[in-house]
Each structure stands twice: as structure tokens, then as C-alpha cells.
């Protein structure tokens, strides 16, 4: 996906370096990465991303360097079996992968992608699968994307889901840092001035001094959004929970022990939607440290977002990877 590698693309562009994008546009069998998976390879030899999870990246890197050296963009067919000796076993993901290798787009397409990702605006990004492999972008109002009807690959960049953390605590800071690679917007809310000014939070999240119900009233939550209360202060958490349960948020959770949660349920008895409240927040990881607790909370957020149980993969028969919308 473009969003996974675009910060790298932008940094290299700002440094004056050429970047080739290798994008998985088709395959004839199972694989570890979804269609749209992208590698970005820079002129200095550094790279980010993957198209197969490791099986063919060496082959793709060689092809990308050819394009960087002046070779023509191309649609290449690669296979994990290409470098196997006759006696070596075939991996499960042995199907052929169709990979588009082309230079990262110039302005105005590059600028449009950068702005859409930064501002959480939807954007359809289209690249033709025949020479000259032209790029174009289309806003939601202009859908369907332009083109002459030839083969093309289109990725729809969607606004990020929002994770709202009530309580500007050390745990909130850890959750926020762990959320950075998950392509989610993080908002941390707390009415206490000393907490929001701690300086502990990454610059990638928003920290707002406000009461939770007041913020939710002015910022409607969507089904793909999640809310977790972390303050351990009923004066804040209870207001947050009532407001969140009255919103469209798909996941509402509250930190605390089982005894604390039992008391919370008694206080909130009769609150509409109380059955939706998940508490204690998190999955059963045996979390002891701050980082493990943050991991437990985030694991539940991801599982609920994909309508999964959060159980061990060996115990379930569902597909490992949730469907990715493009």
C-alpha cells in the first residue's frame, strides 16, 4: 500500500533522490501480502516495504535498480521458485506475482498523494499498466478515475480510522507511539492542564485539553473509530464512556482491574449501549509492563476493527489476513 512507504518516498524526494516503486498488481496464487503491496527503492540503495513478505524481494530489488539506472519501467512476472535449486522444496506461496516497476510520480500527482495522506482525505490513485505507465489521481467527487479504458491499477487512499485515548498518561504516550505504524490517527484528550503539558507524547498524535463529552460532541466518531479510557478517574472516564457509547464508535473500552470494572458497571447502570463497553481493556497477554499493556490494548483494537476474536491463529480457521479494501 502506498501509505506504508510514502513517508520514505517523500524524504528521498526532498533529498533529491530518484525512487522506484514496485507494486504488486496481480498474482495467480496465495501470498503473504495483499494486492497493492508496495516497495520503494531509492537511488542510494535504501528501501522500504515488501511485495511478498520476503520471498521475491531480492529479485524485485535487482529489477528496480535497473529502472533506477535508466531502464524502462515495466510490468514484471516474478516467482518465489525462480532461485530454487531442483531439489529444494517449493514454498506454499509459489504462485507468480505480477509487479509493476515504475518511478514514483512527479507533481502534481506526488503532491496530491502527500496532501491526501497528511490531511486524511480520500483519493483514488491510478497507474496505467501499459507504457508509458502514466499516473493520475481522482477525488471522491470525480469518481470514477480518468483513463482511456486500458488496463490500470487503482488504489483508493482512505481516511485513517481514529483512536481516541482519554487520559494524557504515560500509558497513553506508549499506546500512541506503538500506533504510529498502524496508519491510525491518535487523539489524546484530558481536561487536566498538567497532564496535557507533560511533553511525553509523540508529535504524530494530537493532544487536546478538553472534557471528553465536549470533544465528542464536536467531532463525531465513525464505526471504524475506537475509544479507550485510561485515566482511572471516574469523573473523567465515566463522562467519556457515556459520550462514546452514544456515538458510532465501533470499539469502546476502559482500562482497569476486574474489580474496578465491576464498580464502573454499577455506576453506569442504565446507560444506553452499556453492553458495548469492553472492560478490562485489552487481550489476555498477561501484560505486566507498560509496553505490554499498550500492546494488549492495541491488539484488541485491531482485532475488533477486523471483526476477529483475538485468539491464537493455531486455534482458528479464518484467513490469517483480513480483506483489504482498495
For residue 324, is it within any domain? no
Q: What is the dihedral of CA 255, 257, 258, 260, to 10 degrees?
A: -80
Nearest-angstrom CA–CA distance, 10 and 105: 11
pLDDT at 55: 73
Mean pLDDT, the chain, rounded, equals 89
Nearest-angstrom CA–CA distance, 97 and 30: 10
Q: What is the dihedral of CA 148, 325, 226, 282, to 10 degrees?
A: -150
For residue 73, is it within any domain? yes
The residue count for the chain = 326
| Per-residue pLDDT reduced to its tens digit, 71-94 | 999 999 987 655 544 444 555 555
pLDDT at 225: 97
Q: Does residue 6 sit in the same domain as residue 151?
A: yes
Query: Which residues, 6+ apart, have CB-to-CB distance to 311 below 8 Å?
Result: none
Secondary structure, 3-state, the chain: CHHHHHHHHHHHHHCCCCEEEEEEEEECCCCCCCCCCEEEEECCCCEEECCCCCCCHHHHHHHHHHHHCCCCCEEEEECCCCCCCCCCCCCCCCCCEEEEEEECCCCCHHHHHHHHHHHCCCEEEEEECCCCCCEEEECHHHCCCCCCCCCEEEEEECCCEEEEEECCCHHHHHHHHHHHHHCEEEEEECCCHHHHCCCCCCCCCEEECCCHHHHHHHCCCCCCCEEEECCCCHHHHHHHHHHHHCCCCCEEEECCCHHHHHHHHHHCCCCCCHHHEECCCCCCCCCCCHHHHHHHHHHHHHHHHCCCCCCCHHHCCCCCCCCCCC
Domain count, the chain: 2
CATH of the domain at 229: 3.40.50.720
Nearest-angstrom CA–CA distance, 169 and 195: 7
pTM of the model as a whole: 0.83
Q: Does residue 118 sit in the same domain as residue 178?
A: no
Q: Does residue 17 sit in the same domain as residue 151?
A: yes
Q: Does residue 141 sit in the same domain as residue 165?
A: no
For residue 218, is it within any domain? yes
| Domain boundaries, position 20 | 2-157
Total Cβ atoms within 10 A of residue 53: 12
- Three cell numbers, residue 43: 537511488
- Three cell numbers, residue 79: 516467482
pLDDT at 322: 73
Extract the residue ranges of the chain whose pLDDT is less than 50.
84-88, 326
Query: Per DSSP, what are the bridge partners of residue 100?
Result: 23, 75
Within 13 A of 16's CA, how many CA atoms are on the CB side?
0
Nearest-angstrom CA–CA distance, 309 and 236: 29
Nearest-angstrom CA–CA distance, 290 and 170: 8
Q: Does residue 142 sit in the same domain as residue 256?
A: no
Q: Does residue 63 sit in the same domain as residue 179?
A: no
Q: Does residue 271 sit in the same domain as residue 198?
A: yes
pLDDT at 110: 95
| Per-residue pLDDT reduced to its tens digit, 168-187 | 999 999 999 999 889 899 99
For residue 316, is it within any domain? no
Question: Which among 221, 219, 249, 255 has a CA at the least distance from the CA of 236?
Answer: 255
239-261 per-residue burial string, b: 16 or more CB within 10 A, e: under 16: bbbbbbbbbebbbbbbbbeeebb
Question: Which among 134, 115, 135 has a CA at the least distance from the CA of 123?
Answer: 115
Q: Does residue 47 sit in the same domain as residue 147?
A: yes
Q: Does residue 113 sit in the same domain as residue 245?
A: no
Q: Does residue 151 sit in the same domain as residue 166?
A: no
Q: Does residue 179 sit in the same domain as residue 260?
A: yes
Q: Does residue 73 sit in the same domain as residue 195?
A: no
The residue written with cell numbers 500500500 in the block is 1
Nearest-angstrom CA–CA distance, 230 and 254: 7
Amino acid at each position: 500500500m502506498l501509505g506504508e512507504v510514502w513517508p520514505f518516498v517523500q524524504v528521498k524526494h526532498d533529498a533529491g533522490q530518484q525512487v522506484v516503486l514496485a507494486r504488486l498488481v496481480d498474482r495467480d496464487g496465495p501470498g503473504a501480502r495483499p494486492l497493492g503491496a508496495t516497495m520503494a527503492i531509492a537511488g542510494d540503495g535504501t528501501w522500504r516495504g515488501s511485495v511478498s513478505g520476503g520471498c521475491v524481494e531480492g529479485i524485485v530489488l535487482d529489477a528496480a535498480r535497473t529502472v533506477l539506472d535508466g531502464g524502462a519501467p515495466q510490468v514484471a512476472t516474478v516467482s518465489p521458485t525462480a532461485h530454487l535449486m531442483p531439489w529444494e522444496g517449493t514454498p506454499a506461496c509459489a504462485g507468480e506475482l505480477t509487479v509493476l516497476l515504475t518511478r514514483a510520480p512527479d507533481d502534481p500527482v506526488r503532491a496530491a498523494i502527500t496532501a491526501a495522506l497528511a490531511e486524511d482525505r480520500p483519493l483514488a490513485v491510478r497507474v496505467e499498466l501499459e507504457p508509458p505507465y502514466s499516473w493520475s489521481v481522482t477525488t471522491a467527487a470525480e469518481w470514477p478515475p480518468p483513463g482511456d479504458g486500458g488496463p490500470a491499477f487503482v488504489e483508493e487512499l482512505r481516511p485513517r480510522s481514529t483512536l481516541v485515548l482519554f487520559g494524557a498518561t504515560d500509558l497513553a504516550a506508549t499506546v500512541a507511539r506503538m500506533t504510529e505504524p498502524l496508519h491510525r490517527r491518535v487523539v489524546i484528550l484530558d481536561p487536566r492542564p498538567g497532564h496535557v503539558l507533560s511533553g511525553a507524547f509523540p508529535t504524530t498524535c494530537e493532544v487536546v485539553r478538553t472534557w471528553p463529552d465536549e470533544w465528542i460532541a464536536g467531532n463525531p466518531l465513525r464505526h471504524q473509530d475506537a475509544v479507550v479510557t485510561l485515566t482511572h478517574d471516574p469523573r473523567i472516564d465515566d463522562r467519556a464512556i457515556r459520550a462514546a457509547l452514544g456515538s458510532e464508535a465501533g470499539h469502546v473500552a476502559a482500562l482497569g482491574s476486574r474489580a474496578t470494572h465491576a464498580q464502573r458497571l454499577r455506576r453506569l447502570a442504565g446507560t444506553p449501549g452499556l453492553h458495548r463497553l469492553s472492560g478490562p481493556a485489552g487481550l489476555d497477554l498477561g501484560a505486566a509492563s507498560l509496553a505490554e499493556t499498550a500492546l494488549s490494548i492495541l491488539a484488541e483494537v485491531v482485532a475488533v476493527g477486523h471483526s476477529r476474536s483475538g485468539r491464537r491463529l493455531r486455534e482458528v480457521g479464518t484467513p490469517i489476513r483480513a480483506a483489504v479494501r482498495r
